[in-house]
Structure 1
Amino acid sequence: MKRLAMALCVPLLAPGLSVAASTSHEAAPMMAPAQKPLTESDLQEERFAPQRQESAENILKRFRAAYGSNMPRVAVFWNRAFDDQVSDWSSNSRSVVSARGTLKGEIPDGKVSLQDANQAAAQAEYRSNRNRVSLGPAFELQSGLVSQLTEAGVTVVDRDAIMRITDNALETGDFSRLSPDQRRLEMRALGEHADMLMVFNRLTDRAFEIEVLDVRSGAIKAMLSSNGIPPEQQKAHQWKATDHGFQIIEQTVTLSEIGEELVLQTLASMSR
């Protein structure tokens, strides 16, 4: 009987063992492929990569549709700060003089009492020598920027010109006025002859910052940082004689093309 019982138990256990043996295990997670370390060349290519995807034709079409017949007049500050200093004049101290007096007396009809208090403030102001503004960007860069703005329909006004025009309009003819406050004259000229102000800063050869402001409301119309590199196109080539014969040399992006590209990116931001 014992032998028969043991024989009956074996078939009952066998199916369970076969199921466990046939069960497949999940595949072990794969290790992520090793990342190639960034080199200085990779970082340089990223810095010099074009930043615009939209075509120039679409940007100009959208900008003209957005402004229609109300194309703005734009003044450009070339590497010139537009900050919160509202006057050329400044001071480091102020003196305040206070005086108080009392007068009492009698008159036939009764008594009279007079009291008075005065306070006067005197502030000595000075005008520092005009700081020499850092040199503006190269003429070729300015030329590309102005030509692209003009092509878009924008009227570009010169800061120095509108300041002198505004000052001349205030002259009565006897030329007896004191020297005007340049900061206030600048703001008045912008308000009379421009609709927007473009503040252009060239940080390095491949780093530019542009901010566009509404001169009446102070609203920020556009703000961008760019390397000014146009999208890759069919690059022009030229042959150059070398010690190993003539070789093809790729022509680099010109400053004029960088100026045009910066304007296109600015117009795209203004018309979104």
Structure 2
Amino acid sequence: MDVKYLIAVPETAEAGWWERNKTFVCTIAGLAAGLWLAGSCGSGAVTPAAPQAPPRPRPPRPPPGSRTRTRHLTPRRHPIPSDDTRPVGPPDDHTHVEENMSNPTHPGTAWPALLKQGTGPTQAAFRTLVAQTHHYRGYSPDLIWGNLQTRDYATEVLRLVVDLHEIPRDIEAGAAERVARAQYLGRDGRTYHVLLGEQALLTGIGGAAVMRPQLEHLLDALSVPGLVLGVIPARARLAVYPGDGFGIFDNNRVEVEGYRGGETITDHRVPLFHRAHARLAESAVYGDDARALITAALINT
């Protein structure tokens, strides 16, 4: 397309004006022509720009003075004090947990299911655990330790358990399994360090007819090989706050008991129970002093 432009020179322009400004005027005219040609050639349609995604909104800032919580993906260590040189299983070894969950002879996390079946299966599984344990430490603040319970005492305790949890009343089967644990005391180099709260000597399980034989049995147990039995006097100054009863099995497994039922612990919390047991032991009395407390409870029963 030929496009001709006529550039009119104003009549009133001074002589030489065109000579001075013709380069500028022609440049402007050329630019205008180019823009006109670009808009009129081709399809004449203007291609719209591609839509852009809206900007991603930023998360709201926390209010001034607030703190952001960070979740720890690795368990924190609870090291045992340097003055406690007793061996402890590795906190991060999960092999023991996996074996417990896959082997029915290790109750592990199966306590709730076993308890629903009755005291017989529960106590049988626990006896298997006791048989496989060679080094035990435990704390029982309110009841006589299970391995030292008489048949009548165990029967009365399990009767209370059955009534609370409303499970099958196989009390005799459970009591038989519980007292069978005593056979492992003093055998094959097994060691036991057991702490009783003085309240355990006074808690009225089954009345005097049950408690008197139980306390007498406890006096006899003071001379059992491999058993260290301590009693924490009720007015003793404690080095740690009171808590639930627990047992430490071969240094790397803890069983905690309470109204909620049994709980198995094999993770980084195990050393915490080692420290608790060591500090509770600081308040306990042993030997003749422990015998005196048991005898006093027996006389007053």
Q: Shorter-chain TM-score: what band?
A: under 0.3
More relative contact order, 1 or 2 (CA 8 Å, 6+ apart):
1
**Higher relative strand content:** 1
TM-score, normalised relative to structure 1 = 0.25
**Higher relative helix content:** 2
TM-score, normalised relative to structure 2 = 0.23
- Look at both structures and tell me which one has the larger radius of gyration over its CA atoms: 2
